[in-house]
């Protein structure tokens, strides 16, 4: 009996074990992206309603134990839509995740923390780092153009190293800084360059391949956590870290060829001879001064000087390799980068060496997390004299240089005048006007060089006190070691004549540290979610400079690298330097609350103190509040509106500040001065102990929605930014003896308001052919509402700040065409009277259409006749991106557009249509020559530039429409299938070809409507004056994963 019972028990146990074994099994598979078929590492794979979970490895594979056949697997990863798949009895489940970059489940960086997009109540936009990498740009910020609503990126010059002009929701200051705040891994960085001889952009020190994401905080609710520095918006850069799995090695490279996208249409030698002699003949010189000549081969000398200032097929290359990985308790990321960029402008080159290292480690049973990162770069920029009105400025010189002479003489020597002061006249009977130089000699001999070594590092420790409560301390530093060197050759050009050679050398060290301490608490109790962050932050910056200079070089042997002792004449020595410091101390707090994941409230409060303001006014208290309603979570909505997946309405208000106001604008200062022959001190700035922050009251109302199974994502915002306490130089009576006859006061006001719309759609998603399209547009209106001195105009050469108008509006004379009877220019006075300017005697007369040749009633064209000719800042801008993929092929087309603004084409006015013995553009061939001729170009007359063209004043004749549509990027790529890459032991292999700035559609007659000779002033935009043109770049690239 006992033996039978034992047999029965053994048989039952075998059946039980067999059944359990049949129920529990291991499921394996590969998780890939549906967009490109590539494996996705770090995907969370969980068994729903259990504690079982794993993550995919670097090759996208996973293995997980599954029990019952009814089990459901959940696959989730940031940036992809979560999928739930029944396990059934399958042993292998492969999954393709759908990109959901704009989904409300995304995590965004919001300043001193992160949040799920569904919980964000401010206006925050994001872009992935992969959308910035691989672009042929000198800095990542140039690649943001057209990608984010509310963010206007204007690449105003083709010079490598030149920083773009970035404005978020308009220009928010008149005289102070208007650039956004840049934050890299929690540190506010110095983002402006300090070189005196070359264009440099510190944001170019950040390797785009190292960027994980860029988040842009636009409205007051989002930027309020940065308080006094958030008025112009905040751009947060988060760098990459390792992903769980085995070590990943990625190599990315591209090779490019660049040319200027457009060149000037200049007169050839024959046309120049005709025009130049006609100018002189009309002014009374009957003997032709311009003469054609032949070279040694008997060919007519016909020089297009643009060939000497622009490179053809400038070679560029970029290489980056990274190593990364992670475990449950640690992660690491290291990278090396190299770039060698030859500019499209002769003399302009950039070389970069970059490295980055980052690690994080968990300890004490995951209660402590600590880490550190260090990024370093060495960047060398070589530049040139690109001065808009300089005799050796490359663009102005190339336009004006005589085309009937060459750069070299027949014997191979440089073509110089007998005194080496200007370009040689060749066979002409007259020397070139204004002493314009031989630009070929200048570019071959002069040196403009900057080299900068930058270290950006941070270290942090994060301690978990209890569940939900964390304390974090982070210290960050930025060290910038810059050096300038400039050499001007003694024989010819800027260093010639009495200067006899010139050298300048400058050391420019800059240092900033910040120490941030925060406490964060998050708790969920039933339907209630709470979150709070409090912190204190200290920041100090110190900028120093030291320079030496001298002229009358003893020998060119001592030039080219460094100032050499005793090589310059002692009486010409110059020595100087300076130091500035500023510091911040801040206390801040943020609280969030959500009820049932549908009613959202967020509030911020920050107290900032800044050393740049006087005692008593150094602090500002800046609050912010925002609310959100996730309508899609309401039962009535779920039951009745099926096609909308998520819908959130949000709104907020905050007060922010602008502390980019310079160093100590409140202080009364003294400086060195001379009185007669005596050295002494002079009052240089009158003090104002009442000066305080510029502040902004920001309002925003918006909606975020996803529809049709997350196929369509929509965002819309209305915003208004009331800016007050603008710091302006208020005029004072000359009798008071105040330096500059002005004092800094908080007396200005203006506002920016507008609308933003963004829509993204997966037009084809579930087929082998995929098509995603996204479109964004921003409408913005700027108006000045108060100025100093009883709202008096603030005038500039071409612009004006006037109450009721947009900042920096173009301001000048209204052109009415050409008098067909005599070729005189016509203008409209402020009272509507049409007048003509008689070129011969430079006098204005009333114009009588019935008797157009009559010059009887003299009049004037005065400053009081100037009018608003248009606004210099766009009223709308945006972008359109289309992404196509089919099997392994991908195609990306990125278009950007802008409009509503005018551009003052000073290049036409002063260079292309000059009235001197200089070359011109082909537009001058349309000049008036005979009575009855209808044209827009007046009669030629030597030496009458100022009168005929109204140089140094804006004129509607030269004010043009600035709207455009640009093909920013067109990229075609192919990713090799996994079956192939597995055979060659690679995780991924992609090749691609790209063209940047493929074409521009615009009515603007200049080289490019975005060109602007100044990117640092808020009130003088829309001015194209001898600016170096933008490049059109073709490249091929390679992405390899090991």
Bigger pLDDT: 109 vs 923: 923
The SS3 of residue 690 is coil
Indicate if 112 and 177 belong to the same structural domain: yes
Residues 6+ apart with CB under 8 A from 695: 231, 620, 622, 655, 656, 657, 658, 723, 724, 725
Contact (Cβ atoms closer than 8 angstroms) between residue 713 and residue 705: yes
Please check the confidence at residue 17 and state whether its pLDDT lies above 80.
no
The SS3 of residue 118 is helix
In the block, residue with structure tokens 């301001």: 811
Strands (E), 708-832: 712-731, 742-764, 769-786, 794-795, 799-801, 809-818, 825-828
Q: Place 14 in a pLDDT band, splitting at 50, 70 and 90.
A: very low
Contact (Cβ atoms closer than 8 angstroms) between residue 318 and residue 339: yes
Q: What pLDDT, in 10s, does the model give residues 988-1023?
A: 999 999 999 999 999 999 999 999 987 778 999 999
Residue 1010: the pLDDT is 95
Residue 102: the pLDDT is 45
- Output the CA–CA distances (angstroms, integers) from residue 888 to 68, 459, 832, in the order listed: 37, 41, 65
Cα angle 699, 702, 706; round to 5: 160
Sheet holding 181-184, edge to edge: 124-128, 211-217, 234-239, 181-184, 187-188
| Run of H or E including 879 | strand 876-886
Please check the confidence at residue 36 and state whether its pLDDT lies above 70.
no
Please check the confidence at residue 11 and state whether its pLDDT lies above 90.
no
Indicate if 113 and 227 belong to the same structural domain: yes
Please check the confidence at residue 534 and state whether its pLDDT lies above 90.
yes
Residue 947: the pLDDT is 97
CATH number of domain containing 63 = 2.60.40.1120
555-562's contacts with Cβ under 8 Å and 24+ in sequence apart are 556/489, 556/490, 556/501, 559/447, 559/487, 559/489, 559/501, 559/503, 560/447, 560/487, 561/485, 562/485, 562/505
Residue 953 lies in a domain: no
- Structural domain of 93: 20-97
Residue 149: the pLDDT is 94
Residue 574 lies in a domain: no
Residues 6+ apart with CB under 8 A from 1017: none
Q: What pLDDT, in 10s, does the model give residues 445-500?
A: 999 999 999 999 999 999 999 999 999 999 999 999 999 999 999 999 999 888 89
Contact (Cβ atoms closer than 8 angstroms) between residue 818 and residue 826: yes
Domain limit, last residue, from 179, 212, 239: 239
Q: What pLDDT, in 10s, does the model give residues 695-735?
A: 899 999 999 999 998 899 999 999 999 999 888 877 777 76
Q: How far is CA 679 from the centre of its chain?
A: 44
Q: Give me the helices (H) in 372-513, please.
A: 394-400, 439-445
Q: Place 19 in a pLDDT band, splitting at 50, 70 and 90.
A: very low
Indicate if 93 and 120 belong to the same structural domain: no
DSSP 906: H
Residue 93 lies in a domain: yes
Tokens found for residue 36:
């490109």
Tokens found for residue 496:
């010639």
Contact (Cβ atoms closer than 8 angstroms) between residue 229 and residue 188: yes
Q: Place 5 in a pLDDT band, splitting at 50, 70 and 90.
A: very low
Indicate if 50 and 132 belong to the same structural domain: no
Residue 537 lies in a domain: no
In the block, residue with structure tokens 């919980």: 119
Q: Place 32 in a pLDDT band, splitting at 50, 70 and 90.
A: confident
Contact (Cβ atoms closer than 8 angstroms) between residue 382 and residue 448: yes
Contact (Cβ atoms closer than 8 angstroms) between residue 239 and residue 356: yes
Indicate if 112 and 233 belong to the same structural domain: yes
Residue 25 lies in a domain: yes
Cα angle 523, 529, 534; round to 5: 60
Contact (Cβ atoms closer than 8 angstroms) between residue 212 and residue 241: yes
Q: What pLDDT, in 10s, does the model give residues 739-768?
A: 777 788 888 999 999 999 999 999 998 888
Please check the confidence at residue 207 and state whether its pLDDT lies above 50.
yes
C-alpha to C-alpha distance for 212 and 217, rounded to whole angstroms: 17
Mean model confidence pLDDT for the chain: 91
Q: What pLDDT, in 10s, does the model give residues 651-689?
A: 999 999 888 887 778 877 777 776 666 777 777 778 888
C-alpha to C-alpha distance for 727 and 721, rounded to whole angstroms: 17
Indicate if 124 and 208 belong to the same structural domain: yes
Residue 23: the pLDDT is 57
Indicate if 82 and 187 belong to the same structural domain: no
Strands (E), 129-244: 151-154, 165-168, 181-184, 187-188, 211-217, 234-239
Q: Mean pLDDT across the stretch 861-878?
A: 96
Q: Mean pLDDT across the stretch 330-354?
A: 96
- Output the CA–CA distances (angstroms, integers) from residue 562 to 441, 483, 503, 546, 567, in the order listed: 21, 11, 8, 14, 11
Residue 81 lies in a domain: yes
Indicate if 45 and 71 belong to the same structural domain: yes
Domain limit, last residue, from 67, 97, 127: 97
Closest CA to 404 of 309, 262, 274: 274
Q: Place 74 in a pLDDT band, splitting at 50, 70 and 90.
A: confident
Indicate if 114 and 217 belong to the same structural domain: yes
Residue 426 lies in a domain: no
Please check the confidence at residue 805 and state whether its pLDDT lies above 80.
yes
C-alpha to C-alpha distance for 216 and 120, rounded to whole angstroms: 13
Residue 34: the pLDDT is 67
Residue 485: the pLDDT is 97
Domain limit, last residue, from 97, 129, 155: 97
Indicate if 175 and 217 belong to the same structural domain: yes
Indicate if 135 and 215 belong to the same structural domain: yes
Please check the confidence at residue 880 and state whether its pLDDT lies above 80.
yes
Closest CA to 111 of 124, 96, 102, 101: 124
The SS3 of residue 571 is helix
Half-sphere exposure of 332 (CA within 13 A, CB side): 9
C-alpha to C-alpha distance for 604 and 654, rounded to whole angstroms: 8
Residue 292: the pLDDT is 96
C-alpha to C-alpha distance for 528 and 898, rounded to whole angstroms: 45
Residue 51 lies in a domain: yes
Residue 894: count of CB within 10 angstroms of its CB: 24
Q: How many domains does the chain have?
A: 2
C-alpha to C-alpha distance for 552 and 501, rounded to whole angstroms: 5
CATH number of domain containing 112 = 2.170.130.10
Q: What pLDDT, in 10s, does the model give residues 226-252?
A: 988 888 999 999 999 998 888 999 999
Q: Mean pLDDT across the stretch 420-436?
A: 96
- Output the CA–CA distances (angstroms, integers) from residue 713 to 648, 758, 770, 776, in the order listed: 12, 8, 16, 11
Tokens found for residue 11:
């048989």
Q: Mean pLDDT across the stretch 914-920?
A: 98
Indicate if 174 and 220 belong to the same structural domain: yes
Residue 595: count of CB within 10 angstroms of its CB: 12
Closest CA to 774 of 874, 892, 887: 892
Residue 111: the pLDDT is 87
């Amino acid at each position: 009996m006992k033996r039978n019972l034992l047999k029965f028990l053994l048989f039952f146990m075998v059946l039980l074990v067999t059944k359990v074994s049949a129920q529990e099994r291991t499921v394996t598979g590969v998780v890939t992206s549906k967009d490109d078929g590539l494996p996705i590492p770090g995907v969370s794979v969980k068994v729903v309603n259990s504690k079982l979970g794993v993550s995919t490895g670097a090759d996208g594979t996973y293995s997980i134990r599954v029990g019952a056949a009814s089990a459901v697997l959940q696959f989730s990863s940031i940036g992809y839509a979560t999928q739930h798949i029944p396990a059934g009895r399958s042993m292998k489940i492969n999954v393709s995740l759908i990109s959901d970059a704009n989904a409300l489940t995304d995590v965004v960086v919001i300043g001193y923390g992160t949040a799920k997009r569904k919980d964000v109540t401010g206006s925050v936009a994001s872009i992935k780092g992969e959308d910035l990498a691989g672009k042929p740009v000198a800095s990542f910020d140039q690649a943001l153009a057209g990608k984010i609503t509310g963010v206007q990126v204007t690449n105003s010059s083709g010079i490598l190293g030149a920083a773009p002009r970035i404005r978020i929701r308009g220009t928010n200051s008149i005289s102070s800084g208007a650039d956004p705040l840049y934050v890299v891994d929690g540190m506010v960085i110095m983002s402006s360059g300090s070189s005196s001889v070359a264009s440099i952009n510190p944001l170019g020190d950040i390797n785009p391949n190292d960027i994980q994401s860029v988040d842009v905080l636009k409205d007051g609710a989002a930027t309020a956590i940065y308080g006094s520095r958030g008025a112009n918006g905040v751009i947060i850069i988060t760098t990459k870290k390792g992903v769980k799995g085995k070590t990943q090695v990625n190599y990315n490279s591209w090779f490019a060829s660049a040319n200027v996208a457009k060149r000037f249409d200049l007169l050839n030698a024959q046309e120049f001879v005709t025009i130049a002699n006609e100018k002189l003949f009309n002014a009374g010189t009957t003997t032709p001064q311009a003469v054609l000549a032949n070279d040694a081969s008997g060919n007519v000398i016909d020089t297009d000087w643009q060939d000497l200032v622009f490179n053809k097929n400038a070679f560029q290359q970029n290489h980056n390799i990274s190593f990364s990985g992670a475990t449950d308790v640690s992660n690491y990321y290291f990278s090396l980068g190299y770039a060698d960029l030859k500019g499209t402008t002769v003399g302009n080159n950039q070389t970069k060496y970059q490295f980055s290292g980052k690690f994080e480690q968990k300890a004490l049973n995951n209660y402590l997390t600590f880490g550190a990162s260090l990024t370093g770069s060495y960047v060398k920029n070589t530049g040139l004299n690109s001065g808009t009105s300089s005799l050796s400025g490359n663009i102005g010189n190339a336009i004006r240089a005589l085309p009937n002479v060459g750069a070299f003489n027949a014997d191979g020597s440089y073509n110089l005048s007998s005194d080496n002061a200007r370009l040689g006249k060749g066979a002409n009977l007259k020397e070139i006007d204004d002493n314009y130089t031989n630009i070929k000699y200048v570019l071959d001999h002069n040196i403009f060089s900057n080299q900068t070594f930058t270290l950006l590092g941070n270290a942090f420790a994060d301690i978990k006190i209890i569940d939900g409560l964390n304390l974090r301390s982070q210290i960050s530093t930025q060290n910038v070691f810059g050096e300038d060197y400039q050499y001007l050759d003694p024989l010819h050009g800027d260093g010639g004549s009495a200067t006899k050679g010139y050298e300048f050398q400058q050391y420019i060290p800059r240092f900033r540290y910040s120490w941030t301490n925060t406490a964060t608490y998050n708790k969920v109790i039933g339907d209630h979610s709470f979150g709070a962050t409090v912190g204190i932050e200290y920041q100090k910056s110190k900028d120093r400079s030291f320079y030496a200079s001298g002229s009358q070089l003893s020998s060119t042997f001592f030039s080219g690298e460094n100032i050499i002792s005793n090589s310059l004449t002692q009486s010409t020595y110059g020595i100087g330097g300076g130091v500035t410091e500023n510091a911040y101390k801040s206390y801040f707090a943020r609280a969030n609350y959500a009820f049932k994941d549908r009613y959202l409230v967020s509030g911020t409060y920050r107290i900032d103190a800044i050393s740049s303001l006087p005692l008593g006014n150094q602090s500002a208290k800046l609050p912010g509040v925002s609310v959100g309603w996730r309508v899609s979570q309401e039962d009535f909505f779920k039951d009745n509106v099926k096609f909308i997946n998520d819908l959130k309405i949000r709104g907020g208000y905050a007060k922010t500040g602008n502390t980019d106001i310079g160093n100590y604008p409140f202080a009364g200062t003294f400086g060195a001065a001379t009185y007669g022959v005596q050295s002494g001190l002079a009052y240089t700035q009158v003090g104002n102990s009442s000066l305080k922050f510029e502040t902004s009251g920001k309002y925003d109302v918006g909606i975020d929605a996803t529809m049709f199974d997350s196929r369509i994502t929509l965002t819309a915002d209305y915003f208004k930014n009331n800016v007050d306490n603008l710091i302006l130089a208020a005029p004072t009576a000359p009798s008071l003896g105040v330096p500059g006859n002005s004092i800094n006061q908080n007396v200005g006001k203006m506002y920016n308001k507008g609308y933003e719309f963004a829509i993204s759609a997966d037009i084809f998603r579930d087929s082998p052919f995929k098509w995603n399209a996204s479109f964004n547009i921003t409408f913005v209106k700027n108006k000045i509402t108060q100025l100093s001195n009883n709202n008096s105009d603030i005038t500039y050469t071409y612009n004006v700040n006037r109450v009721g108008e947009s900042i920096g509006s173009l301001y000048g004379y209204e052109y009415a065409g050409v008098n067909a009877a005599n070729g005189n220019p016509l203008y409209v006075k402020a009272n509507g009277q049409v007048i003509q300017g008689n070129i011969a005697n430079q006098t204005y007369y009333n114009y009588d259409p019935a008797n157009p040749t009559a010059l009887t009633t003299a009049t004037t064209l005065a400053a009081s006749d100037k009018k608003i000719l248009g606004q210099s800042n766009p009223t709308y801008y945006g972008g359109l991106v289309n992404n196509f993929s089919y099997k392994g092929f991908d195609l990306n087309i990125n278009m950007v557009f802008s409009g509503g603004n005018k551009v003052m084409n000073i290049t036409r006015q002063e260079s292309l249509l000059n009235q001197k013995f200089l070359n011109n553009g082909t537009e001058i061939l349309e000049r008036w020559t005979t009575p009855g001729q209808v044209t827009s170009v007046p009669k030629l007359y030597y030496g009458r530039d100022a009168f005929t063209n109204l140089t140094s004043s804006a004129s509607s004749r030269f004010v043009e429409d600035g709207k455009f549509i640009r093909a920013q990027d067109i990229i075609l790529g192919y990713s090799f299938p996994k079956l192939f890459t597995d055979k060659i032991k690679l995780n991924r292999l992609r090749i691609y070809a790209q063209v940047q700035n493929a074409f521009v559609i615009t009515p603007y007659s200049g080289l490019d409507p975005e060109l602007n000779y100044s990117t640092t002033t808020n009130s003088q935009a829309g001015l194209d004056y001898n600016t170096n043109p933008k490049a059109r770049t073709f490249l091929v690239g390679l992405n390899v994963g090991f």
